[in-house]
Structure 1
Amino acid sequence: MQVSVETTSTLGRRLKVAVPADEVEKEFNARLQRLSKQVRLPGFRPGKVPLKMVEAQYGGRLMDEVAGELIQNTMHEAIGSQGLRMAGDPRVQRKTFVRGEQLEYTVEFEVYPEIKRFDLAGTHIERPQVTVSQEDVDRTLETVRKQRATWKPVEREARLGDRATIDFVGRLNGNEFEGGTGSAFPVVLGSGTLIESLEHGLVGAGKGESRHVTVTFPADYRHATLAGQTVDFEVKVIEIAEALLPEVNEAFATELGVKDGNVEQLRAEVKANLEREAAARARAVLRTRALKLLLEANPLEVPLSLLEAEIGRLKAGDVNTGTIQSDDASYERRARSRVALGLILGEIIRNRGLAPDPARTRSRLEEMASDYESPQEFIQWHYAKPERLSEIENLVMEERIVEDLLVSAQVTDKTMSFQELLKIDAVLQ
């Protein structure tokens, strides 16, 4: 087999492959012999049809089958012989195939980019150090109180924090649009349930009052049809109600699961929960910072086939959640980052010969399961199918890689409040 390789772009390769004629002929004759034992023609006993007659009737089909199988059997061998690792699906073109001649074809594909940095030596990362305060506990309890608020109708004008029950009709360019109307719709003013300018446009309105509110949606609004658009809303206020918040007392504590209703015990449990949340978020921030530095240390041109596939996955996910973006550039940016990171982590795993650690995977599953009412069912559900378990194995593998990266970097602790920690983006874009 003769193989030559041509570089078509940074990652693009084109291989020209020639399979010797004698190998082609050998495969063709073998197939012809097998077929002759199955063919039935009038005047001949089964298996006794002359090869020339079989070839005359089925030769063209056999040639196509032989070419297809030889390409499949030789393509990966040819790629491997050049020391190349193919990324994505190849594109194969076959030259006109003539009996008695060698089989020639070209295969075009992309290769994986070279990963040069496997550590973070010479970099600096700040690790959040957070102490949960009593103010954080108070703030959380206030949020819980608001979630359990009861509502008392009032006759005064609406204020931020009130619940307004409204009928509304929105018109885009003079036309009503899907999702732009509502009847007896309750909204807490200032809660962000509706777009902010619409909620604030109802402040000061009284029961029975109708208002015209013009709203301009943000350019990055989650619904593409409304992004950057100006919409006119006609709103009628049906009712205004103010929130009555429960007192933080024994009954409140009991309702939240403290058996003896001890308020101090409730506060202690809230603080413990916030501390767990702070620890988890601090780890997420540290992970994000480490992986971002790893990406910066390995500027890659990613294979186009992998990039397009990832963009498709991101868009499909947004379609399912109804949050499709109008800006294709944002999809490409996110997809490029994800593909590059996946390639880098995959190469680190391959380079270091890493494999899933069953004990660590089990421990991680048990930690995750503790947040569920039936921890054992959560664990068994993941072990029931390999693809579910592999998600946890990959997570654990990534955590292990991040730990190694942090060893190679200079890590210093940065003291901050819990509220400051919440403002830090813990998601790698």
Structure 2
Amino acid sequence: MQVTETLNEGLKRGYTITVPAADLEAKVNEKLVEAQPGIEMKGFRKGKVPMALLKKQFGQRLMGESMQEAVDGAMSSHFETSGDRPAMQPKVEMTNEDWKEGDDVVVSLSYEALPEVPEVDFSGVEIERLVVEPAEEDVTEALEGLAKNAQTFETKKGKAAKGDQVVFDFLGKVDGEAFEGGAAEDYPLVLGSNSFIPGFEDQLIGVKAGEEKTVEVTFPDEYQAEHLAGKAATFDCTVKEVKKPAEAKIDDELAKQFGSESLDALKGQIKERLAAEYAGAARQVVKRQLLDQLDSLVTFDLPPSLVDAEAQQIAHQLWHEENPDVQGHDHPKIEPTEEHRKLAERRVRLGLLLAELGQKENVQVTDAEMTQAIMTQARQYPGQEREFFQFIQQNQQAQQQLRAPLFEDKVIDLVLDRAKVTDRTVTKEELQAEVEKLEEM
């Protein structure tokens, strides 16, 4: 087998691989000899089928297998010897398309090699980490939000107003006949919540406890129950109670509604949650600072194919953000701009740098970390967690999309351990301003 270099320009590589016909023939014969003892054929005992007959029957398929194995072996040997790592899937093409049995096989191999990433001294990297301590007013604000969400009502006298809760029985009819699902007893409805058919709640404004009222509405044309869509209906309503929103009380009872033993315990949980949120936001700022400095510390050639692919992805993503109404990919071709390419070059450069450092330091994402990441993602699909787990297990690309940010964060932590990091206490407003700057970049 012969491998001849045809291109060596920057990171671009090209080779011609020649597999002699004699080598292929020997490989086919070897496969036939290996398989012969287990082959049965009409007119011959098991293991006694003549080699010539076996070759006629199976030779063509084995020749194809031998070709593939020979080329794969040559490529593997080449990458092991040269030390090259292809940036993307190598392009392999058979050059003698008129090949016939007895001819050498000639294949062209081309790819872009990953560059040599230089060593980086991280001791000169200086990072300022913003620290925010949750203030009492922040905890109070969060408690007030919880109290508002845990809205309760108390009985009132007089007429129901918007925002009040009406407890009532109702019976719905279409063409004078009651319909399935159109009745309920002691139903609590907050007027203005828009949880009923349009126009229904407005007609209950002004009712009093003990009052009976017939509400007339028309089901929307796109109503989910097709047999009711677009039809006029009446609802015979009997009002049992009118309630007004009760003043929110921040006390131990509120805490118990949210699973805490006491108000003090709930405050502690809120403080921990706020601290975690602030730390997460500060992490974003630290990460941008670090990546900006790393980007200025290293320079090396970038594989054009990786930059092109990243620029295309950036342009495509930004186009969809600017055109949210377009859900699919049936749109004109999107050409990356120079700005997209500059951002792509930065991402590729930093991605290769972090990947190289992670590989040298043997950074690993553990099974436990992957499981936690999958569980976190699965919570975004309530009721479909099992299906999500199965999807991830069966999809290598999805697994990589989850593993990549975990790997990157572990490498970032590795660099931060070697850099000079100083803490500065700021207000949450100052931290928010820094986070907003990141979004503008």
Superposition TM-score, scaled by structure 2 size: 0.56
- Contiguous gaps of at least 5 residues in structure 1: 156-161, 168-181, 187-242, 372-380
**Could you tell me how far 1:86 is from its partner in structure 2?**
1.9
Q: Look up the equivalent residue of 1:301 and give its one-letter code.
A: L
**Could you tell me how far 1:76 is from its partner in structure 2?**
1.3
Partner of 1:402: 412
| 1:227-282 per-position Cα deviation (integer Å, ceiling 9, x unaligned) | xxxxxxxxxxxxxxxx958434324344334434x4x5544443333223323432
Matches within 5 A, 1:134-153: 134-149=136-151, 153=162
| 1:95-144 per-position Cα deviation (integer Å, ceiling 9, x unaligned) | 33455554321112222233224444434322102222223223323433
2:355 alignment partner, one of 324, 331, 346:
346
**Could you tell me how far 1:6 is from its partner in structure 2?**
3.9
- Contact between 2:143 and 2:250, CA under 8 Å: does it hold in 1? no
**Could you tell me how far 1:153 is from its partner in structure 2?**
0.8
| 1:183-211 per-position Cα deviation (integer Å, ceiling 9, x unaligned) | 6799xxxxxxxxxxxxxxxxxxxxxxxxx
- What is the SS of the residue equivalent to 2:435? coil
Partner of 2:89: 89
Instruction: Flag the 1:184–1:401 CA change in 2: closer, same or farther, 3 A.
Output: farther
- Contact between 1:89 and 1:305, CA under 8 Å: does it hold in 2? no
- Contact between 1:40 and 1:49, CA under 8 Å: does it hold in 2? no
Partner of 2:432: 422
Instruction: Flag the 1:125–1:64 CA change in 2: closer, same or farther, 3 A.
Output: same
- What is the SS of the residue equivalent to 2:353? helix
Instruction: Flag the 1:163–1:411 CA change in 2: closer, same or farther, 3 A.
Output: farther
Instruction: Flag the 1:248–1:117 CA change in 2: closer, same or farther, 3 A.
Output: farther
- What is the SS of the residue equivalent to 1:273? helix
Structure number with higher relative contact order (C-alpha < 8 Å, ≥ 6 residues apart):
1
Instruction: Flag the 1:142–1:352 CA change in 2: closer, same or farther, 3 A.
Output: same
CA distance in 1, matches of 2:41, 2:260: 84
Instruction: Flag the 1:403–1:149 CA change in 2: closer, same or farther, 3 A.
Output: same
**Could you tell me how far 1:94 is from its partner in structure 2?**
1.6
| 1:331-370 per-position Cα deviation (integer Å, ceiling 9, x unaligned) | 98887766554432221122234456899x69x99xx9xx
CA distance in 1, matches of 2:200, 2:2: 73
Matches within 5 A, 1:57-96: 60-96=60-96
Partner of 2:382: none
- Contact between 1:246 and 1:252, CA under 8 Å: does it hold in 2? no
- Contact between 1:137 and 1:270, CA under 8 Å: does it hold in 2? yes
Partner of 1:412: 422
1:131 alignment partner, one of 118, 130, 133:
133
1:111 alignment partner, one of 110, 113, 116:
113
Q: Look up the equivalent residue of 2:355 and give its one-letter code.
A: G
**Could you tell me how far 1:415 is from its partner in structure 2?**
2.8
Instruction: Flag the 1:275–1:248 CA change in 2: closer, same or farther, 3 A.
Output: farther
- Contiguous gaps of at least 5 residues in structure 2: 153-159, 165-190, 202-243, 380-388
| 1:160-190 per-position Cα deviation (integer Å, ceiling 9, x unaligned) | xx978599xxxxxxxxxxxxxx96799xxxx
Partner of 2:293: 293
**Could you tell me how far 1:87 is from its partner in structure 2?**
2.9
- Contact between 2:32 and 2:54, CA under 8 Å: does it hold in 1? yes
- Contact between 1:20 and 1:103, CA under 8 Å: does it hold in 2? yes
Partner of 1:17: 17
| Percent identity between the two aligned chains | 23
- What is the SS of the residue equivalent to 2:134? coil
- What is the SS of the residue equivalent to 1:80? helix
Q: Look up the equivalent residue of 1:425 and give its one-letter code.
A: V
Partner of 1:122: 124
CA distance in 2, matches of 1:89, 1:303: 13
Instruction: Flag the 1:71–1:148 CA change in 2: closer, same or farther, 3 A.
Output: same
Matches within 5 A, 1:227-376: 246-250=247-251, 251-260=253-262, 262=263, 266-298=266-298, 301-302=302-303, 304=305, 308=309, 329=336, 340-355=349-364
- Contact between 1:307 and 1:339, CA under 8 Å: does it hold in 2? no
Question: Cα RMSD (Å) of the superposition?
Answer: 5.4
- What is the SS of the residue equivalent to 2:88? strand
Deviates more, 1:301-310 or 1:60-69: 301-310
- Contact between 2:315 and 2:335, CA under 8 Å: does it hold in 1? no
Instruction: Flag the 1:130–1:35 CA change in 2: closer, same or farther, 3 A.
Output: closer
- Contact between 2:112 and 2:303, CA under 8 Å: does it hold in 1? no
- Contact between 2:148 and 2:248, CA under 8 Å: does it hold in 1? no
Matches within 5 A, 1:216-235: none
| 1:35-75 per-position Cα deviation (integer Å, ceiling 9, x unaligned) | 7774858x877744462x66567655444332222112222
Instruction: Flag the 1:20–1:185 CA change in 2: closer, same or farther, 3 A.
Output: farther
How many residues in Structure 1 have an aligned counterpart in Structure 2? 333
- Contact between 1:16 and 1:104, CA under 8 Å: does it hold in 2? yes
- Contact between 1:119 and 1:405, CA under 8 Å: does it hold in 2? no
Q: Look up the equivalent residue of 2:118 and give its one-letter code.
A: K
Q: Look up the equivalent residue of 2:133 and give its one-letter code.
A: T
